[in-house]
Structure 1
């Protein structure tokens, strides 16, 4: 990432105000540095020259005022930076989530979800140091160094030349150290992402590992990845300490050259004491901003790496084709015209054409792996496809998921959230309608489940069949409250017994009676028999049912 990546201003617009404020604060801090050095010089030279006590007291009062003012400016820098970080992180998270919607499920399937979770959580949180410390210090450096050099030049040209000649050495070493830091920081970030992915996989498959007695084997893998992360973290710290030592060494040597030059000229009387002391006080301040930039860059390096990943996602989404928006509500039949779906280059549905009519139940059947669930995913807009999908004659193929207000979808995994059955059935409704929620539970053969029943993450507290029916009821609720014309159900009875499945089938028929096109994927013949039409897929091609 560049010292100040312009993409930050584009994707986190609130950072612009923070940059302007940081620039003003940096200018004020620079003026305080000059005023402080001049007042301290006045006090020391006044005492030596025997100046009156009132003048010295006034100078000391000015020093105290400058110290307080500089403290306030430092506090203001921190506050503005933290607030800017909070706003920028929020904007970046919203932007990345919107970008994921734009890129679709096909893009998500090719990327590690645990890495994305780490990016949106811990990764972007690490931007606090970037905004609160690195950027203000970077702007302070850009302002303070030229102003301080000009001030020194106005007092002593020889000291200004020494500073101007030695000053570029610091940025050169900062670049070299920065390259090394970036390498080890990227490795640390990748290791953290791998650790997150491994931990998520272990947690997800813990029950299976326990059943087969393989849970302890994962301890070794987790320990190895953790050791790698510890090693990369220590490498980052070593580079940070080494860079700090290098910067301090060269800045100290440079200041020493200025001090020796001033000392010799003070001895031979060619330089006034006030001028020499003033320049000597300013000399370390010329290097201080550069040293702090290096230190703060290391503190913000993890956030910088995370921001790089966020910018890459946002850039990719910005380059994606613009999807059309529809000005009117679409509530007609769903027509599939030569729809072809590919997964990793393999055709799973080949040139399917069909009309899914309102008021009818259409069953999609066929052997496992022929593309039934992929077809529903394409209808839902989370899987790319070729060909056209039309509702009311309007091609909705490119519409994002959020724009498909004509569709309600219940996938195989309902992904229930912590809360109650009511909150899961009415998900996204700011004013849930309990009567409609109870009706939807009845249609989903879940009338025995109370709306106030507690639900844990992932449906904890409910059986597999109950969680599945709550997911179906959620699709029904969306369809009835938002007037959706199509309801897609993916294996809605896979975890149900025959009696409950029969009740679910009657509910599906009743839902279709509301003028809704119901599309269901199922292997269960008892459920398929309730359908008005059947589309059988075989090797991705529709065959007569």
Structure 2
């Protein structure tokens, strides 16, 4: 029942020891309480004076108070420790998310990640609050009561002892069945969340493409499967509860029959019989409570296992040895023939390979279903994995960038000594980036333009250090790098995706994302420059206003401005990476946000991935991507009107009325 990963957290053994001590005291109090009650009932049965009830009554009340004080203490200890563990997990999750980057989240699924970050931590907290005290109660309270009853009447003790394994047996059998169904329910719950969240985020795109109605049936079918699995879990839970109650009642009844017969025959005094009968329900109570709560804690256990598996997932080692003191006016960055391909089955879905997954994957899936003869970059799923692998195999001649690091020039298939083709063990998809070469010098604004799926987000994620190139060379101010997963580089960049990460806390805490010890005056100044003043004046607590995890309670524009305030607060980050920062904002919000963004971009190296053509009037250089390749580069004035790929892209996107860009 206890997940082994729980013992990785500080203080769990100490808390369990303290809870065990309280359970032991509580068990002794239950015995004392029953002793006082049995004494009082015997005095009443013997028609003694009322004054003889004072002692038993005080004994009962004293132990009753101690019993419930122990119960309150255990609840507070377990609740406080549950919050402590959740507080320990949260920063580990945040660190892991930012280390793995958008690719890992895209392959996992937006809804599943949201569930893990928000509901998952709450479930872990409840799991600890319920599990630890119930475990110690079951181990100690029943044992102490059994010893006490056996001391008074060994026959009653023998009945209790024989019934206990029977209850445990049925609890284990039904518990295993419940665990199996609960695991399936949790998996289906993640699927439902992923489908639902992605559909909601992609609803504008679905409506624009006219396929929003088609997804009603899919959401219904996923919801129906989840409903059926939930009913299965409830059936087992109710059966388990019935079995525990029935065997408990049977055990008490058997013991009562033996006690009654011996009392009638005059072979047993009244006090031991009353004491044993009073203690019997409390003897079975811990195992019944544990069985009842077992089903409630399964979700928490699954959530903890899911979270710890995610935290333990492998990641590319970071380069911590390269020394670099930041981007300056004379800095230079060169990329030559850089290739990157996603591992087979992990290519993110949807509009550009990473952050757009949340809003466009559902829409793109719908469009894919209506087309025939699509290319091999369609989203991967379990139902068409075989056909996808065949498609990828056919396109192997185009995928020249599938190389292991250190084997530049090697093809995916290598020949052995006899000339036979030997397949590489690591399968990859066709290149998301192919022979990418760029040269950045000093401060400037570079727009990365391209159609959906051209590789814009993949390129930004590569520059952020999330995607590790398979081939090519990178040179940063004379430093030869294998990738951008370099501590010195990442310390000087700010990465702002379409949907910035907002954690549970105050607005001020969220702005202090990069600088935890920033003063309130600096936070206010950053919020002012980011254009948050008007919104903050509407809030009673201003910067101290609590906002929810996953952007709960705030709009997309407000989340973007908080992300900008983070950039403004940390003056040491001279490289700004934007991945479609205004993709899901309405026109008015985008216009206001753009006015805020442009001054921030000055005296920085800015790489802006976007499909909004109005940005062309405000950038110094344009990189046009198509199928992972840079097909055109230059200044907007050089490219617009030259009849090249940018002009064709502008015509396709309906933006041919852009004479102002040539001014």
CA deviation string 1:392-413 (max 9, x = no partner):
53758374789712223455x3
Q: Contact conserved, 2:320 with 2:487, CA < 8 A, in 1?
A: no
Q: Aligned runs of 1:12-411 on 2, under 5 Å? A: 13=10, 15-16=12-13, 18-48=15-45, 53-127=50-124, 129-210=126-207, 215-316=212-313, 319-320=314-315, 322-325=317-320, 330-331=325-326, 333-336=332-335, 339-343=338-342, 344=347, 345=428, 346-350=430-434, 356-359=440-443, 369=453, 371-386=455-470, 389=474, 391=476, 393=479, 395=481, 397=483, 399=485, 404-409=490-495
Partners in 1 of 2:608 and 2:196 — Cα distance? 35
Partners in 2 of 1:49 and 1:434 — Cα distance? 79
Q: Contact conserved, 2:445 with 2:601, CA < 8 A, in 1?
A: no
Q: TM-score, normalised by structure 1?
A: 0.76
Deviation at 1:220, TM superposition (A): 4.4
Partners in 1 of 2:267 and 2:237 — Cα distance? 42
Q: Contact conserved, 1:126 with 1:302, CA < 8 A, in 2?
A: yes
Extract unaligned runs of 5+ from structure 1: 442-449, 462-466
The change in CA–CA distance for 1:168 and 1:363 in structure 2 (over 3 A counts) is same
Deviation at 1:111, TM superposition (A): 0.8
Partner of 1:4: 2
Q: Contact conserved, 1:373 with 1:490, CA < 8 A, in 2?
A: yes
Q: What is the RMSD computed on CA atoms of the aligned residues?
A: 4.6
The change in CA–CA distance for 1:381 and 1:144 in structure 2 (over 3 A counts) is same
Q: 1:483 is paired with a residue of what secondary structure?
A: coil
Partners in 2 of 1:216 and 1:234 — Cα distance? 28
Deviation at 1:357, TM superposition (A): 3.6
Partners in 2 of 1:65 and 1:52 — Cα distance? 22
The change in CA–CA distance for 1:194 and 1:323 in structure 2 (over 3 A counts) is same
Deviation at 1:521, TM superposition (A): 5.8
Partners in 2 of 1:213 and 1:525 — Cα distance? 26
Q: 2:311 is paired with a residue of what secondary structure?
A: helix
Which one is further off, 397-406 or 252-261?
397-406
Q: 1:408 is paired with a residue of what secondary structure?
A: strand
Extract unaligned runs of 5+ from structure 2: 348-427, 537-553, 634-663
Deviation at 1:60, TM superposition (A): 1.4
Q: Contact conserved, 2:511 with 2:523, CA < 8 A, in 1?
A: no
Q: Contact conserved, 1:126 with 1:303, CA < 8 A, in 2?
A: yes
CA deviation string 1:235-283 (max 9, x = no partner):
3333222111101111222233333333444444544433333233323
Aligned residues: 508
Partners in 2 of 1:29 and 1:423 — Cα distance? 42
Partners in 2 of 1:124 and 1:483 — Cα distance? 33
Deviation at 1:525, TM superposition (A): 13
Q: 1:169 is paired with a residue of what secondary structure?
A: helix
Q: Contact conserved, 1:339 with 1:386, CA < 8 A, in 2?
A: yes
Q: 2:339 is paired with a residue of what secondary structure?
A: strand
Deviation at 1:415, TM superposition (A): 5.0
Q: Which residue, out of 556, 561, 571, partners 1:458?
A: 556
The change in CA–CA distance for 1:140 and 1:341 in structure 2 (over 3 A counts) is same
Partners in 1 of 2:111 and 2:570 — Cα distance? 34
Q: Contact conserved, 1:106 with 1:384, CA < 8 A, in 2?
A: no
Deviation at 1:47, TM superposition (A): 4.0
Q: Which residue, out of 571, 586, 591, partners 1:482?
A: 571
Partners in 1 of 2:443 and 2:558 — Cα distance? 35
Q: Contact conserved, 1:376 with 1:488, CA < 8 A, in 2?
A: yes
Q: Contact conserved, 1:427 with 1:474, CA < 8 A, in 2?
A: no
The change in CA–CA distance for 1:142 and 1:390 in structure 2 (over 3 A counts) is farther
Q: 1:482 is paired with a residue of what secondary structure?
A: coil
Partners in 1 of 2:156 and 2:141 — Cα distance? 17
Q: 2:431 is paired with a residue of what secondary structure?
A: strand
Q: Contact conserved, 1:478 with 1:484, CA < 8 A, in 2?
A: yes
Q: 1:110 is paired with a residue of what secondary structure?
A: helix
CA deviation string 1:476-525 (max 9, x = no partner):
x83895233534456799999xxx9xx99xx79994xx5x5555668989
CA deviation string 1:176-202 (max 9, x = no partner):
111222233234333433333333233
Q: 1:126 is paired with a residue of what secondary structure?
A: helix
Partner of 1:444: none
The change in CA–CA distance for 1:189 and 1:535 in structure 2 (over 3 A counts) is closer
